[in-house]
Amino acid sequence: MKNRQHTWTKRVAIISLMAVTLPMVTNVAQASSTAALAPHKGAYGYFQDTYKQNVEGNTTVQNNPVVGEMSEFSKYWSNGQTLNAPLLKENIDKAAKVTQTRSYAETERSYLTDWRDLRYNLIDGLGPYSSAFIKNADAKTDYMSMPTTPDPVNTPWSKTQWASPTSKLGPMVKLMNTTSYQPFTATGVVKHVVKYLRPYRQSSEVKVVPALAKVMAAAPADDYDFPSGHTTAGFETGMTLAYLVPERYQQLLTRSSEIGYDRVLAGRHTPLATMGGRMVGTAMAAAALNDPANQALMTEAYSNAHSSALLQSSDATAQDQFGDYQKNRADWRYRMTYGFNQIGDTHQAVRVPKGAEVLLATRLPYLTDTQRRDVLFTTGMPSGYPVMDDAEGWGRLDLFSAANGYGQFNDTVKVNMDAKKGQFAAKDNWRNDIGGKGSLVKSGTGLLQLSGKNTFSGGTTVKGGTLQLTSNTAAGQGKVTVQGGTLQLTNQKVTVKGTYQQTKRGQLKLAKDTKVTINKSAKLAGTLRLTGGKWKNGTSLLTYKHHAGKFTHVKGLPKGLHVVYTKHAVRLAK
């Protein structure tokens, strides 16, 4: 039986290469507003167009997109020479601390991440759909628990076919096989360009998982750290699953990032290596999902995911390891930077790579490709963090935040939803704190919820469907106009800092204990609808400096009460 580590090296196509110095990266002028945003080429061109060039023999930033994407590391380590000793020491120290403080559960999880086929590992991110996937994809693994004694050196990687392409979920399995575990999706070439040692070989303070100790000690001398291949494969698979099952988008992203963290827990990789793996895996997934050769399979696999074989077979009793949104958000953000400080230029605008918008295509289906690029632009990470300032911008994509909608309105943002299409086209929640000088126009059908602490100043217009405000400042700092459709408040006191205008086609829908405070004037018409419980005499529904007009229709009035209009308020009275 072959040594397990050599099986892995074969998988990532590790090869013996001459030492190659990664050149320093010089950042050129970047876009400073959404309107000016355009993709930027790397020295290799665009990752999307050149991703299959990541193969043996291509070892320069000009002919290998992965080498180019990872070239920021040359600022800290190049041709065997340490160029930033404090950062590299911090990198090892962080790895050591993680291994010294891991729990038993983390130890076992990192062991299973090490041995299992990574496509199998991502199933956890499906939560209540996991059991249906395992059953209907005929998914299997050789490893279900961690042994009490170290594995022998010749322990094999999982040999069982992780899932069947001829199963009920065969199209999903085929797409996941297409976007990962291909010769050009591996990190072996760039690892042998960089030649950065594994953390457990740099410091005895890095405590490896005991069950892996013999295998790791016997690994070849050229088994390198940067970037992490497991993390790369985790994101390739995780982003593919997130495309197919956007209902679990952020949960699957969190699981992908956890695979990277597992590599640090095991002592296999440093934080910088997993950050690099996230970047490579994200770029590879986007490239594969943009490849014309994969479009028919993507359509089939998406339909397959939303069939009775998966999303219509939810297990309500299943434990969801990623059911806590706040924890997912905190874990994701930590693993984006692992607490490293910004050491580079902190004034670079975000760059959105060519084709990156495909990663939001099913999560934000009611937006155009250009709008999805805007979302990525306005939710991107600050510049200056180690490794992350690559030429195209893959390192600074914050996809978890992007799944929460815009981070800023730089222009007029028009959202046209279609409830008949279901899923996110029918209902979505933008959780980000949205700033900027732009405005929002909601049209079509469907419901869009704003729940952040918003400061955008260009105003809010409702033309169709429902816009639901669930925080005091959800409407931003501008005027609010309800030309059609419904503006809905649910158990919140919402402040309109500008004027409020409602036409005869518009509707204001208020639940019990809600109130609209209008800092300026109000022009009223259309329908007022009260819902959700017993309304009391004297309740103020709206307050304002002054008003013109009245609601044409008031629905849901409690028996015995009517609406009165005073100089500064709309109230309920007997």
pLDDT at residue 22 greater than cutoff 50: no
Which of 475, 450, 473 lies closest to 461 in space, CA to CA? 475
CA atoms of 437 and 230, how far apart (whole Å)? 42
Average pLDDT, the chain: 93
Half-sphere exposure of 81 (CA within 13 A, CB side): 9
- For 407-453, write each residue's pLDDT tens digit: 999 999 999 999 999 999 999 999 999 999 999 999 999 999 999 99
Better-predicted residue by pLDDT, 512 or 337 = 337
Query: Left (φ > 0), alpha (ψ -120 to 50) or beta: where does 181 sit?
Result: left
Task: Give the domain ranges of the chain.
Answer: 4-315+322-402, 412-573
Q: Is 513 helix (H, G, I), strand (E, B) or coil?
A: coil
Percent of the chain with pLDDT over 70: 94
CA atoms of 290 and 152, how far apart (whole Å)? 42
Looking at residue 10, its pLDDT comes to 37
pLDDT at residue 572 greater than cutoff 70: yes
Return the structure tokens found at 276: 């690099």
Q: What is the mean pLDDT of residues 216-243?
A: 97
Strands (DSSP E) contained in 292-377 are: none
Q: What are phi and psi of 276, to 5 degrees?
A: -65, -40
Among 32-41, 77-86, 467-476, which is the least confidently predicted range? Answer: 32-41
Percent of the chain with pLDDT over 90: 89
CB 406 within 8 A of CB 375: yes
CB 478 within 8 A of CB 500: no
CA atoms of 528 and 465, how far apart (whole Å)? 15
DSSP letter at 395?
G
Q: Which amino acid is at 112?
A: L
Looking at residue 35, its pLDDT comes to 65
Return the structure tokens found at 425: 């086209």
C-beta atoms surrounding 153 within 10 Å:
14
Ordered alpha helix ranges (H), 218-270:
229-244, 249-265
Q: Note if the bond before 246 is cis, omega within 30 degrees.
A: no
Return the structure tokens found at 311: 């999303």
Q: What are phi and psi of 449, to 5 degrees?
A: -105, 135
Looking at residue 18, its pLDDT comes to 34
pLDDT band (50, 70, 90) for residue 237: very high
Q: What is the mean pLDDT of residues 50-79?
A: 97
Query: Left (φ > 0), alpha (ψ -120 to 50) or beta: where does 512 sit?
Result: beta
CB 461 within 8 A of CB 441: yes
In SS3 terms, 178-218 reads as HHCCCHHHCCHHHHHHHCCCCHHHHCCCCCCCHHHHHHHHC
CA atoms of 150 and 110, how far apart (whole Å)? 14
pLDDT at residue 1 greater than cutoff 60: no
pLDDT band (50, 70, 90) for residue 271: very high
pLDDT band (50, 70, 90) for residue 6: very low
Which of 89, 108, 90 lies closest to 266 in space, CA to CA? 108
CA atoms of 314 and 524, how far apart (whole Å)? 45
pLDDT at residue 34 greater than cutoff 60: yes
Let me know if 2 is exposed, middle or buried by CB neighbors in 10 A (0-12, 13-18, 19+): exposed
Q: Is 459 helix (H, G, I), strand (E, B) or coil?
A: coil
pLDDT band (50, 70, 90) for residue 27: very low
- For 139-174, write each residue's pLDDT tens digit: 999 999 999 999 999 888 778 999 999 999 999 999
The CATH number that domain 4-315+322-402 falls under is: 1.20.144.10
Looking at residue 540, its pLDDT comes to 94
Which of 357, 353, 395, 393 lies closest to 49 in space, CA to CA? 353
- For 369-397, write each residue's pLDDT tens digit: 999 999 999 999 999 999 999 999 999 99
pLDDT at residue 470 greater than cutoff 50: yes
Looking at residue 309, its pLDDT comes to 96
Among 11-15, 96-100, 175-179, which is the least confidently predicted range? Answer: 11-15
Cα distance between the two ends of the chain: 87
CA atoms of 49 and 119, how far apart (whole Å)? 25
CA atoms of 282 and 153, how far apart (whole Å)? 32
What interhelical angle do 170-179 and 271-290 show, nearest 10? Answer: 120
pLDDT at residue 490 greater than cutoff 60: yes
Q: What is the mean pLDDT of residues 79-106?
A: 97
In SS3 terms, 35-49 reads as HHCCCCCECCECHHH
Query: Which residue's structure tokens are 């390192």?
Result: 395
pLDDT at residue 3 greater than cutoff 80: no
